[in-house]
Amino acid sequence: MKKVITPLSRGTLIIYRVVVALILLLAVVLITGSLYAVFRSPNAKPLFRIGGGSGEGGEGSVPGREINVFSGIGRLRIPLAGETSATIVIAISFPYPANDRAFAEELASRIGDFRSIATEYFAALSPEKADALNEDSAKAEILGRYNALLRLGKIETLYFGDYMVLDSR
């Protein structure tokens, strides 16, 4: 029995060769990188940093002043005061020193209190007041209430994310 094989078209053959070449190139890069990692000194400094700000001598870094952002409060959905069924959606976060482990643990233990304070503050607002809210004064008020709870450190600034007033009229 005779089997007839039709030759591939010229365009298909070129695509096939390009794909094979790319796969071989990727294999060479992976093998080279793996061998470099195996034979590199364990004490060697990184070749480069992505993001640039958190290393020794990196641009934009401030020695001894590493910070984290606390966003453990999460997104809150708070019904507003009044007869309408308006809701405010807000996420509150703030920076804190990354090397202060005790303060970070205190922040984590106060998440429920932080949520309660924000809920009390925003639940007292009417939809009209929530629409015309002065963000700086609201941040200052909530910041004062948060800092009154804390014993091991103070929060310097607050950030409001996802600030939306939803009205279902």
Could you give the 3-state DSSP secondary structure of residue 79?
strand
Listed residue (96, 94, 83, 112) closest to 158, CA to CA: 94
Q: What is the pLDDT of residue 130?
A: 85
* pLDDT on residue 52: 56
Token representation of residue 124 = 């007292």
* pLDDT tens for each residue of the chain, 169 residues long: 788 777 778 888 899 999 999 999 999 999 999 998 888 888 888 777 776 555 444 444 455 568 899 999 999 999 988 766 789 999 999 999 989 999 999 999 999 999 999 999 999 988 888 888 899 999 999 999 999 999 999 999 999 988 888 876 6
pLDDT at res. 58: 44
Check: pTM over 0.75? Answer yes or no: no
For residues 75 and 12, give the distance between their C-alpha atoms in angstroms, rounded to a whole number: 52
CATH of domain 67-166: 3.30.479.30
Measured between alpha carbons, how far is 25 from 108 in angstroms, rounded to an integer? Answer: 48
Domain segments of the chain as ranges: 67-166
Find, among 43, 155, 124, the residue nearest to 133 by Cα.
Answer: 124
Long-range contacts of 71-75 (CB under 8 A, 24+ apart): 72/107, 72/108, 72/111, 72/114, 73/111, 73/114, 73/115, 73/118, 74/115, 75/162
Element (H, E) at 34: helix 10-39
**pLDDT attached to residue 32:** 94
Query: What pLDDT, on a 0 to 100 scale, did the predictor assign at position 9?
Result: 84
C-alpha 58/C-alpha 46 separation (Å) is 12
Give the amino acid at 132. Answer: A
Q: What is the pLDDT of residue 24?
A: 98
φ, ψ for residue 167, nearest 5 deg: -120, 125
- What's residue 57's pLDDT? 46
